[in-house]
Amino acid sequence: MESKYARLDRFISMRTDIKRRDVRRVLAQGRIRVDGIPACSINQRIGEFSHVAIDEQVLQAKLARYFMMNKPCCVVSATKDERHKTVLDLLGAADRAGLHIAGRLDFNSTGLLLLTNDGRWSRQLSTPEANICKSYRVTLEKPICEDYVDAFAQGMFFPFEGITTKPAKLSIISDYVAEVSLVEGRYHQIKRMFGRFRNRVLELHRFAIGGLVLDPSLALGQSRELTEWEASNIREKIQW
């Protein structure tokens, strides 16, 4: 995978007429600033969101952007689709430029969806080692009983993949409604787990990812940018 970082001398030479061997001299003159601070080394790493300037000339000022959306039903979690409306179609042209989805939701599922232009951030959220908890409210066709709680906590074997799911927490809210928290994202995992009881999922709504809870003021289809604190603390672990 191509690195998103570059050495300062290489970065400067690629964006100006200054040769790499001359960057050290410009650096010593204090003319190069990275994120508002005088650069200190030709080996300094420049990321895709580093603000870089020489004198008054800005060479890069790309900002990292993070959005939460309350995804509606029957919208595809994709950047393009020839048949259906996508979640990016719900954003204005200026907002959606350069964004990708950080963890999809199924076509018929609703709730918290994250979008960003920061690939490193989205990879950190999706890597299995992160163990970031995702929480859902599930409406079922048939009543739920305590047997479900134990089965979800023990994990279930999926013969097609040859794996056993990690323990998941199920809380019974009412006869037909439950909340499920898990750290995996197997294909249709929640629907398949309830399918072991021959109980069809009627509605699936994600309301939290890690320490981030869906803003209750967002109607279906609406979105807003995350605060700096939200973007930084989403990986906060949830204690079961």
pLDDT digits (tens, 9 = 90+) for 216-234: 999 999 999 999 999 988 8
pLDDT at residue 235 is higher than 90:
no
pLDDT digits (tens, 9 = 90+) for 168-198: 999 999 999 999 999 988 889 999 999 999 9
- Cβ contact 183:132 at 8 Å: yes
pLDDT digits (tens, 9 = 90+) for 39-78: 999 999 998 899 999 999 999 998 999 999 999 999 999 8
3 state SS of 94: helix
> What CATH class is the domain 6-60?
alpha beta
Write down the catalytic residue from 55, 106, 150, 215. Answer: 106
Pairing mode of beta strands 201-209, 110-116: parallel
Task: List the chain domain ranges.
Answer: 6-60, 66-233
| Average of per-residue pLDDT values in the chain | 92
For 9, the enclosing helix (H) or strand (E) is: helix 8-15
Based on the residue annotation, tell me whether 175 is a catalytic residue of this protein. no
| pLDDT score, position 236 | 59
| pLDDT score, position 96 | 85
pLDDT at residue 17 is higher than 70:
yes
| pLDDT score, position 105 | 94
pLDDT at residue 239 is higher than 50:
no
Alpha helices in the chain (DSSP H): 8-15, 20-28, 93-96, 119-126, 146-154, 189-195, 228-233
What would the two tokens of residue 89 be? Answer: 């179609």
Enter the pTM of the model. Answer: 0.84
- Cβ contact 105:206 at 8 Å: yes
What would the two tokens of residue 70 be? Answer: 């309350």
Least confident of 61-75, 94-108, 117-131, 138-152: 117-131
Name the residue with higher pLDDT: 79 or 7: 7
DSSP calls for 189-205 = HHHHHHHTTT--EEEEE
CATH number of 66-233: 3.30.2350.10
Least confident of 35-39, 100-104, 138-142, 234-238: 234-238
pLDDT at residue 205 is higher than 60:
yes
Percent of the chain with pLDDT over 90: 75
pLDDT at residue 2 is higher than 60:
no
| pLDDT score, position 240 | 43
Confidence of residue 1 (pLDDT cuts 50, 70, 90): very low
